[in-house]
Structure 1
Amino acid sequence: MEFDKRFSNVIMLSCGFMLVFTAFQTMGNIEKTVLESISKDDPSFKGDGYTSLAIIYAALAICNWLAPSFLSISGPRVAIFLGSCCYAIFIASFLTPSAIFLYTASAVLGAGGSFLWTGHGQYLTENSDSETMSRNAGIFWAIFQSSLFAGNLFVYFMFNESKIESSTRQLVFWVLTALSILGTSLLGFLRRPPHKLSLGEAEGVSSADKELAMPEPQGEKGCSAAWNAFKDALKLFTTRKMMLLSLTFIYTGLALTFFSGVYSSSIGFTEAMGEKRKSLVGLSGICIGVGEVVGGAIFGMLASRASILGRCTGWPVVVIGFFVTLFAYINVLLNLPDNSPFSETTDIGFINPSPVLAMIGSLALGFGDACFNTQIYSLLGVIYANESAPAFALFKFCQSVAAAISFVYSSYVGLHVQLSILLVSMVLGSAAFCYIERGHLLRKNSNHVEIDTTLSGSVSAEE
């Protein structure tokens, strides 16, 4: 059955991402910590974790404008494979510590990431319809974020001392490099979708067009297709709807920086967490992963069956994510000292630091992030069904710009200021998403009423 082929494509895509990001997300989680330990062993090494991550997301943001053009020529599968190769190169760069190599590999990864994520959005859309998009987005997110388990569990047992030895670091780097290569190999065998599905009430698509499930013929080739794809992305970005959604995208980028690079490192730098605080860096990543997977499972895979919320369930999920994340930020504010993101500190927060509270905060951060991201994927896949490549590219552009800026200021501003920025952006992003999603639902229901009225009138006339 064609449905089974599409579903198996989603599973294969999810498993490939899971392996690649087992390596990358684990590395991002420990990068600041391990680079600090390398600097202690080799004072000539000047590489900085936050600078590396800032370069990644800056390059990702810039290249996202080129990604739709590249996909118009290569297609999503080639883009996904080439992008995953760049991730493997970045992980391998840690085997021979060099600041220049590290920053160069970071830029390469940023470019590859734009192709990987834009290709992912288009490929996921091509293998979904209006009934399965939410489910497929949830399945992808749950499997993808399970990458936080294995890698961080490995780190938890490897980094069990206050000082990370060189031999331990090398073993971790080799294992993560091997995982990234394995995931890249799997993504290289992605299959072509049986045919592209219509996701229903997509923007700018006529009713007649929506009845056709087959993809439109590719009349443009080469530079012409690439240039038109770039113009389409620019045009889409200036629409009122996308400008409002960009507030939500920006918040997810700031949150990504915090939970993937700042929060876990802050736990490891807080000496009051105890002698095993370095292992808590990995355990925090595991707890974030648990929250991500649970959120993806509940609000993604089960969304299509949650009839009590109706077919368009994005805004209630985002509201839930808002309050769960608000709890997490209050937890972090109370539990960690203001200078914990920078380096080892003997300071304490408003209460004595508690590893248990830190792990609860990690769970809440992961769950809240899943609430936002699963609904963004679902909404973009439905509203921009025929413009999936530029829509997902713009999502990643806004997210990456915010992440890059956040990684820059994370090296200079304390935890309290960072939490204040996150709170303001979360309020704006949540409000924007709810407004757009509710408006789409109302228009959709209005269209259905008009169609029903027209059909009723036709039947009466015939009678």
Structure 2
Amino acid sequence: MLRMAVIYGVFSASNLVAPSVVAVIGPQFSMFISGLFYSAYIATFIQPFTWTFYTASVFIGIAAAVLWTAQGNCLTINSDENTIGRNSGIFWALLQFSLFFGNLFIYFAWKGKSRISDADRRTVFIALTVISLVGTVLFFLIRKPDSPASLEEDAILEDSTNAEINVPLENKMLKALDAFKKSLKLCITKRMLLLSVSIAYTGLELTFFSGVYGTCIGSVNRFGAQAKSLIGLSGIFIGLGEILGGGLFSLLSKKKQCGRNLIVLLGIVIHALAFYLIFFNIPADAPIASSTGTNNKAYMNPSVTLALFCSFLLGFGDSCFNTQLLSILGVLYSEDSAPAFAVFKFVQSISAAVAFFYSNYLLLQWQLLILVIFGFFGTISFFIVEWQAVALSSQGSAYSSI
């Protein structure tokens, strides 16, 4: 948990300066450099030492902020109002394939093993390091924007390998400072404050499905000897939900009647159902149970099938919120996408860090109650922003500032 606290703490702070980095070196090179830091972080697990472990955690927090900001910027400049929904869905589905294949690999590689040897660990992390490096190199294959106007914009839209290297250092520093100021100003606008409620909810439920729910399943002794292996299966089903959601919403983006509000509404309904079923299926003390697990039961005998079904629902509901947040940010802030996505990850990472903190102390029902409350108000706030944006667009305002 200390490692996660370090990563999310640095990640939160770095999001405010990430747009400046992207402004100076461009989104493509920003993603490449960040990818190298990700690969280095994974490599530390091959032969872990305390000092490399926490040093890499600091750098991965910085790299994550730059990577997410650059990815959001790259997604926006390669999309328009008609394609941003489709591209956001595709992006999210491809991103979540790691949940599915990663957990599937671990499940079969370590199935039936009560102890993971050093050789097993090295094999896994060497393979992951190589895959990460290959993916990092592939960032250079991402196409540049087709629009001539886009190519004439500031350094945020420029690749660091072309004419950007000829821009005087003073101009680059001015662009970096301007990007930082835009991030700060964006944080306090009415529209972003409303969206921050929705974004905060995604951070809370990110912590729940990625760090809490799997632990809860593994702590239920009534699941028998398979309880620990179910953690990996839970991750697989979460990934399936994320991938299906991203792919489905990419297809539905072409249908005008399937707007962002409808998909977000679907997401909160699915999450509410998942929380309700988890409340009845998983013991209340599961999140804070000792290493020996819990022998208690909730309001029914724990069901493995129901637990994994809830994992799928958590992933699918998460894709509803994240794909639509990526879409609406890309439309509303097409001119300032890097600062907008930086604020998005800033708010999300702070709420995730808060959730990691209280997850060690609160019983399951209280954690679910927090999620329900934030989910409800996050949905309402998203609706308000979408309605206002549509109203302004219909009046010819082109999503002007609220």
What TM-score, normalized to structure 1?
A: 0.78
| Deviation of the 1:214 alpha carbon | 5.1
Among 346, 359, 377, the residue aligned to 2:294: 346
| Deviation of the 1:194 alpha carbon | 2.8
The worse-fitting range, judged by mean Cα deviation, of 385-394 and 80-89 is 80-89
- What is the CA–CA distance in structure 1 between the aligned matches of 2:375 and 2:292, rounded to whole Å? 29
Distance of aligned partners of 1:162 and 1:168 in 2 relative to their CA distance in 1, 3 Å threshold = same
Q: What's the CA shift string for 1:145-200, capped at 9, x where partnerless?
A: 1222211111111332373322433333332222222222222443433337xxxx
Match of 1:289 in 2: 239
* 1:190 equivalenced with 2:142 (yes/no): yes
- What is the CA–CA distance in structure 2 between the aligned matches of 1:265 and 1:162, rounded to whole Å? 18
* 1:333 equivalenced with 2:279 (yes/no): yes
Query: Does the aligned pair in 1 maintain the 2:28–2:74 contact within 8 Å?
Result: yes
Query: Does the aligned pair in 2 maintain the 1:162–1:276 contact within 8 Å?
Result: no
Q: What is the identity, as a one-letter code, of the residue corresponding to 2:275?
A: Y
Query: Does the aligned pair in 2 maintain the 1:254–1:403 contact within 8 Å?
Result: yes
* 1:134 equivalenced with 2:82 (yes/no): no
* 1:401 equivalenced with 2:338 (yes/no): no
Match of 1:81 in 2: 32
Match of 2:228 in 1: 278
- What is the CA–CA distance in structure 1 between the aligned matches of 2:364 and 2:57, rounded to whole Å? 25
Which runs of 5 or more structure 2 residues have no equivalent in the other structure? 156-166
Query: Does the aligned pair in 2 maintain the 1:69–1:226 contact within 8 Å?
Result: yes
Query: Does the aligned pair in 1 maintain the 2:78–2:144 contact within 8 Å?
Result: no
| Deviation of the 1:143 alpha carbon | 1.5
What TM-score, normalized to structure 2?
A: 0.89
Query: Does the aligned pair in 2 maintain the 1:161–1:278 contact within 8 Å?
Result: no
Among 177, 185, 189, the residue aligned to 2:129: 177
* 1:221 equivalenced with 2:221 (yes/no): no
| Deviation of the 1:77 alpha carbon | 0.6
- What is the CA–CA distance in structure 1 between the aligned matches of 2:131 and 2:300, rounded to whole Å? 39
Match of 1:384 in 2: 333
Match of 1:362 in 2: 311
* 1:421 equivalenced with 2:367 (yes/no): no
* 1:241 equivalenced with 2:198 (yes/no): no
| Deviation of the 1:420 alpha carbon | 1.6
Query: Does the aligned pair in 1 maintain the 2:12–2:345 contact within 8 Å?
Result: yes
SS at match of 2:336: helix
CA RMSD of aligned residues (A): 2.0
Distance of aligned partners of 1:81 and 1:448 in 2 relative to their CA distance in 1, 3 Å threshold = closer
Q: What is the identity, as a one-letter code, of the residue corresponding to 2:294?
A: T
SS at match of 2:286: coil
Q: What is the identity, as a one-letter code, of the residue corresponding to 1:171?
A: T
Match of 1:25 in 2: none
Q: What is the identity, as a one-letter code, of the residue corresponding to 2:266?
A: I
Distance of aligned partners of 1:269 and 1:98 in 2 relative to their CA distance in 1, 3 Å threshold = farther
* 1:111 equivalenced with 2:59 (yes/no): no
The worse-fitting range, judged by mean Cα deviation, of 383-392 and 350-359 is 350-359
- What is the CA–CA distance in structure 2 between the aligned matches of 1:233 and 1:360, rounded to whole Å? 39
Query: Does the aligned pair in 1 maintain the 2:77–2:150 contact within 8 Å?
Result: no
Query: Does the aligned pair in 2 maintain the 1:125–1:388 contact within 8 Å?
Result: yes
Distance of aligned partners of 1:242 and 1:301 in 2 relative to their CA distance in 1, 3 Å threshold = same
Q: What is the identity, as a one-letter code, of the residue corresponding to 1:133?
A: I
Match of 1:154 in 2: 105
| Deviation of the 1:411 alpha carbon | 2.2
Q: What is the identity, as a one-letter code, of the residue corresponding to 2:74?
A: Y
| Deviation of the 1:410 alpha carbon | 1.8
- What is the CA–CA distance in structure 2 between the aligned matches of 1:422 and 1:326, rounded to whole Å? 9
* 1:432 equivalenced with 2:381 (yes/no): yes
Query: Does the aligned pair in 2 maintain the 1:341–1:414 contact within 8 Å?
Result: yes
* 1:269 equivalenced with 2:214 (yes/no): no
- What is the CA–CA distance in structure 1 between the aligned matches of 2:139 and 2:219, rounded to whole Å? 36
Q: What is the identity, as a one-letter code, of the residue corresponding to 1:80?
A: M
Q: What is the identity, as a one-letter code, of the residue corresponding to 2:116?
A: E
Q: What's the CA shift string for 1:95-115, capped at 9, x where partnerless?
A: 223344323222211100001
Which runs of 5 or more structure 1 residues have no equivalent in the other structure? 1-49, 197-211, 450-463
State the identity as a percent.
41
- What is the CA–CA distance in structure 2 between the aligned matches of 1:169 and 1:431, rounded to whole Å? 45
- What is the CA–CA distance in structure 1 between the aligned matches of 2:79 and 2:334, rounded to whole Å? 10
| Deviation of the 1:231 alpha carbon | 0.7
- What is the CA–CA distance in structure 2 between the aligned matches of 1:73 and 1:345, rounded to whole Å? 50
Query: Does the aligned pair in 1 maintain the 2:98–2:239 contact within 8 Å?
Result: yes
Match of 2:260 in 1: 314
Q: What's the CA shift string for 1:237-288, capped at 9, x where partnerless?
A: 1111111111111111111111112211221222221212222111111111
| Deviation of the 1:213 alpha carbon | 5.5
The worse-fitting range, judged by mean Cα deviation, of 244-253 and 143-152 is 143-152
Query: Does the aligned pair in 2 maintain the 1:87–1:112 contact within 8 Å?
Result: yes
- What is the CA–CA distance in structure 1 between the aligned matches of 2:226 and 2:340, rounded to whole Å? 44
* 1:53 equivalenced with 2:21 (yes/no): no
Deviating runs (4+, > 6 A) in structure 1? none
Q: Which has the larger radius of gyration?
A: 1
SS at match of 1:194: coil
Match of 2:359 in 1: 410
Query: Does the aligned pair in 2 maintain the 1:137–1:378 contact within 8 Å?
Result: yes
